[in-house]
Amino acid sequence: MTQSNTIKQQRSQRILELFAIARQRYLDAEGNPRRTPTGLKGDDYMTDEERQEALV
């Protein structure tokens, strides 16, 4: 595997981690486990820093 593929794979893994953290926050806040948050700011349960990291 090339170095660029490794970096892409690491970034993808980090994004999945961020979404998993946000999903857990949603569930901890008594969110419906069968519903997916809209993903809009304020309904995605991500901090501003996490949201910025996911967008980059």
Number of domain units in the chain? 1
**Interatomic CA distance for residues 19 and 50, integer angstroms:** 9
Task: Identify the residue whose tokens are 């349960």.
Answer: 45
3-class SS of residue 44? coil
- Residues contacting residue 19 through CB under 8 Å, at least 6 positions apart: 54
Task: Identify the residue whose tokens are 């309904």.
Answer: 43
Predicted confidence (pLDDT) per residue in 13-41, tens digit: 999 999 999 999 999 998 888 887 777 77
Q: What is the pTM of this model?
A: 0.78
Taking residue 29's Cβ as centre, other Cβ atoms within 10 Å add up to: 9
Give residue 37's domain range.
3-55
